[in-house]
Amino acid sequence: MEKKKFIFIVNHSFDDPDKAAGALQLAVNMKAFDIDLDFFLINEGVLLAKKGFAETITWQKKDGFSPIHQLLRTLTEDFDVHFYICASCVKPYGLEGTELIRNAMPKPGSYLGELLLDRQSVSF
């Protein structure tokens, strides 16, 4: 059986921390089953790629999710997941010249289109 591949498309960070945490929590759970997955961050979601930003998000409502910064650390350090940042969002969200989390890199929207050709998408 062919191994399934996923791309998580995340639109949120500080504006809806529970959606961001839900995406990251689901990804951690799926990686435990050795699923191939990566993230494409757009809109406010791109801020998750800014080093240190996730630690500032402290107002999650759902106790069942781990804190966003811990989930990001698990995904990048333990599971080596990539976080692609919408290149069109880099400048508007102030990411030019800032330090990014491990495995984060800007990519154009066409790259997301390419990923979607052979992956299932999960959007938050």
Three-state DSSP state, 67: coil
According to the model, what pLDDT value does residue 60 have? 66
Total number of domains constituting the chain = 1
Domain interval for residue 103: 5-123
Q: What is the pLDDT of residues 97-108, one digit of tens each?
A: 999 999 999 999
Q: How far is CA 94 from CA 41, 46, 65, 98, 110, in A?
A: 14, 10, 28, 8, 21
Task: Give the confidence band of 1 by pLDDT, cuts at 50, 70, 90.
Answer: low
Angle at 103 between CA 101 and CA 106, to 5 degrees: 85
Half-sphere exposure in the Cβ direction for 87 (13 Å, CA): 7
pTM of the model: 0.92
Query: What CATH number should be reported for the domain holding residue 94?
Result: 3.40.1260.10
